[in-house]
Amino acid sequence: MEDEGTNVLIKVIKFNDLGFANHGWLKARHHFSFASYYDPDRMGFGAIRVINDDVIAAGMGFDTHPHRNMEIITYVKTGAITHKDSQGNEGRTAAGDVQVMSAGSGVFHSEFNKEGEATTLYQIWIEPNVTGVTPTWKAHSFPKGMVTDKLSLLVSGEGSAPLTIHQDAFIYAGSLSKGTTIIHQIVNQAYLLVVDGALEVDGERIEKGDGVEIVDLKELTLTAVTEAQVLLLDVPDE
């Protein structure tokens, strides 16, 4: 969708056009360049560095490995993921819930699917606005009902959400019944993920697995074409 000039305000990235890697136990779709997938035109979006749409086989996961100076957000779509890190944190995050790890000055962690079936999740990396902080980890359970007037704020950098990151960003989510319309206000610029179903974004249809870059818009109209679930990341520029 374009305005009267040439600037694209809404850019849809279809699921089948994402980067793809099949490691057997892990099948990953990459919204931006990551590991063996490299596209110079897909290096991130504002402060977002990584969005991986992962399918992790039962009993499998990421062995202990290090991170530093990155805000790592995991949104579980189905199943659950179990986290353990060198700070002594350990916990299980289930479908519809979120965990946040601020890697800060350095942390080692593992993420395993200890369930009896595959787990699907979004792994999101956001560049922090401060470095060298003490590493932290926290998870939170969120209401699973349908939203009717606004998306739920899950994560922010202002302390106004249950989970906090070191960046002036806002992460929202919500499940919408078919026909529901929501007007969403954008502070910075936004990246929208269609977790499930189909919806229209300012009149343009997007479907499960798609990503949408939204720039130079302060108000967004979301209409559920089917029952749908969305995740919206409002992030500053780099």
Tens-place pLDDT, residues 79-102:
999 999 999 999 999 999 999 999
Neighbours of 26 (CB within 10 A): 16
pLDDT of 7: 57
- Token reading at 93: 């995050």
16: domain CATH number is 2.60.120.10
Neighbours of 91 (CB within 10 A): 13
**193 within domain boundaries:** yes
Q: φ, ψ for residue 12 (rounded to 5)?
A: -95, 130
**5 within domain boundaries:** no
Beta partners for 2? Answer: 8
| Mean predicted confidence (pLDDT) in 71-75 | 98
pLDDT of 3: 42
Residues sharing a CB contact under 8 Å with residue 227, sequence separation 6 or more, in sequence order: 175, 176, 177, 178, 196, 197
119 pLDDT more than 60: yes
What's the structural domain count of the chain?
1
d(CA 13, CA 201): 13
Averaged confidence pLDDT in the chain: 95
| Mean predicted confidence (pLDDT) in 200-210 | 95
| Mean predicted confidence (pLDDT) in 64-93 | 98
The answer to whether the predicted template modeling score (pTM) of the entire model surpasses 0.75 is: yes
**129 within domain boundaries:** yes
Angle at 108 between CA 106 and CA 112, to 5 degrees: 145
Domain that holds residue 53: 10-235
Q: Are strands 26-30 and 211-214 parallel, antiparallel or unpaired?
A: unpaired
**3 within domain boundaries:** no
d(CA 193, CA 205): 13
